[in-house]
Chains A and B, each alone.
Chain A
Amino acid sequence: KNEVEQSPQNLTAQEGEFITINCSYSVGISALHWLQQHPGGGIVSLFMLSSGKKKHGRLIATINIQEKHSSLHITASHPRDSAVYICAVRWSRWSGGSNYKLTFGKGTLLTVNP
């Protein structure tokens, strides 16, 4: 079964710390998404990537296709970054995927204390 694993499940940090959230997956993918879900709120797409690295403000997402691994980094973390961060992948055709269906990790709950 194709799977997506995230670590850690829970992460508590002090304001200003550098944060790393990890995502690993079992077989080949065509794209990986990082999503943010605030408590009681909807889900916002942060990044979609299939190779290399993307940066938006204090957020950086990297992916290593050979190692089947992606990381989401937050620099100079702030309490407003507190949310659940979700990794989702679109499996490649030869991994049995479609060009639209996503498989989601269980999420990482990040709490940034002031």
Chain B
Amino acid sequence: GAGVSQSPSNKVTEKGKDVELRCDPISGHTALYWYRQRLGQGLEFLIYFQGNSAPDKSGLPSDRFSAERTGESVSTLTIQRTQQEDSAVYLCASSLGVPGTSGGSSYNEQFFGPGTRLTVL
């Protein structure tokens, strides 16, 4: 079966432009995550979608960042008026679900996409 896919794989844009990044999760996965990985830094949580629940947007760094998800499928991350510090790899992940705090369930395993490398000039 297909894994998590992301598009585009690379995006170069000029400062001030808007960009839209896309994530297609694994079919049947109700949970979807967006992360950012800046050069030399660890991954940072951005936003989390779970089914029809309100998303957790607590990781979004500014109001220039927004994300949407259509049902339990495609998600788009939009960055408005891009800045040079937005340059990073943006990673999407999906998991079957999150049944609780148990560390042993395969429901919690996250499957990552290949990422979108964003360069803001």
A→B interface (CB under 8 Å): 4, 30-33, 35, 41-45, 48-51, 86, 88, 90, 92-93, 98-107
Contacts and interface: CB of A to CB of B under 8 A. Distances in A.
A30 B31 contact: no
A99 B114 contact: no
Interface residues of B, number: 29
Contacts of B110: 33, 45, 102
A8 to B, nearest CB: 15
B48 A101 contact: yes
Contacts of B43: 86, 88, 102, 104
Nearest to A41: B114
B50 interface: yes
Nearest to A98: B56
Given A4-B42, A106-B41, A42 B114 contact: yes
B91 to A, nearest CB: 7
A104 B36 CA distance: 11
B112 to A, nearest CB: 4
A97 to B, nearest CB: 8
B41 to A, nearest CB: 6
A50 B31 contact: no
B113 interface: yes
B104 interface: yes
Nearest to B104: A50
Contact of B103 (A50, A100, A107): A50
B41 A42 contact: no
